[in-house]
Amino acid sequence: MRLLLSCVFAMICLSATAQHSTLRFQDEPFMLDHQSILIVPFQSKMYLSDVNGKLAEHNQMNSEQIISRFTNALDQSLYYTFKERCKVTSYYTLDDDSAQSSLSYIYQNIDLEYELVSKTEEKDGVTKFKEKFKKKEDDRYDRGGVQGGEIVTKSDPRERYMKAVVSDQKMLDSMHMNFNNEFFLFLNELDFRNVYGDAAAMQRMEFNRELKVHFTLYKKDGSILATGISSTLVPATENDINTITSSYFPILAKQIFDALFEDEVEEKTANKLKMPWK
């Protein structure tokens, strides 16, 4: 009984520390149900981390191996999360040469840029607080530039995410012909960083790390539907890569699923709650 209560408490804590932020570019549901979707993994250079030293030491792995494990784990978590509602195509089902050639073509025809996003927090896996806004011209992330011959940098504490921008429609057409997919889910960046507290807590290793993935959803016709982030906290004492990938990556995948199916799930729930009056 005590073990059961501990497990339930742990799941509640994980739900409370997980969150997603999503900017939707249309008000209507995306209608992903029973549709085909292609998962595009993030580029290795878009893995940003300040914890790799600890991970490498604990798991006896180099940086390239860690990135490979994380890329595969995120892809598989999304595959199993989406497959009940979608036909999912993963690059991990292709042979290495074919996958690398296709991914190189995709990476050459997308740009990555930062945008600002509103935040939706989940508490206890039930309550959601939503903040929606219309994107304005002056809401762009400004990292600074050259002024008066001097380099000027700016600090922007607002939430921002990495968005995929398709630079050539022919790339989407080509991928659609190859995989017959209606949607593209681009994974743009994976962050794994320490979230430090006070000095005493740091010495006791009583702080967390944030695991965050940036994503963008496109339709085959080039329409951008949504972009945002999914994140969760991992204890700083947890360095086992098997535990991290099996316990926390499914959380990231489930949040992306909930964000993209949000309107459809709410609509179905509302319909179930309606009483048939006679």
* pLDDT (tens place) for every residue of the chain, 278 residues total: 443 444 434 444 444 466 667 888 888 889 999 999 999 999 999 999 999 999 999 999 999 999 999 999 999 999 999 999 999 999 888 777 888 899 999 999 999 998 875 544 443 333 444 444 444 444 454 444 444 445 443 445 567 889 999 989 999 999 999 999 999 999 999 999 998 776 666 666 677 999 999 999 999 999 999 999 999 999 999 999 999 999 999 999 999 999 999 765 444 444 443 333 33
Looking at residue 137, what is its pLDDT?
Answer: 40
Distance of CA 43 to CAs 12, 171, 243, Å? Answer: 33, 17, 23
Q: Report the half-sphere exposure of 255 (CA within 13 A, side-chain side).
A: 33
How far apart CA 98 and CA 18 sit, in angstroms, is 35
CB 250 within 8 A of CB 15: no
What residues does each domain of the chain span?
17-124+140-266
Specify the CATH number of the domain 17-124+140-266.
Answer: 3.40.50.10610
- Shortest CA distance to 235 belongs to which of 204, 198, 190, 199? 204
The pTM of the full predicted model, rounded to 2 decimals, is 0.76
Looking at residue 93, what is its pLDDT?
Answer: 80
Looking at residue 243, what is its pLDDT?
Answer: 98
Looking at residue 92, what is its pLDDT?
Answer: 84
134-141: long-range contacts, CB 8 A cutoff, minimum separation 24: 135/23, 140/115, 140/116, 141/114, 141/115, 141/116
Looking at residue 153, what is its pLDDT?
Answer: 39
Tokens of 120: 């939706």
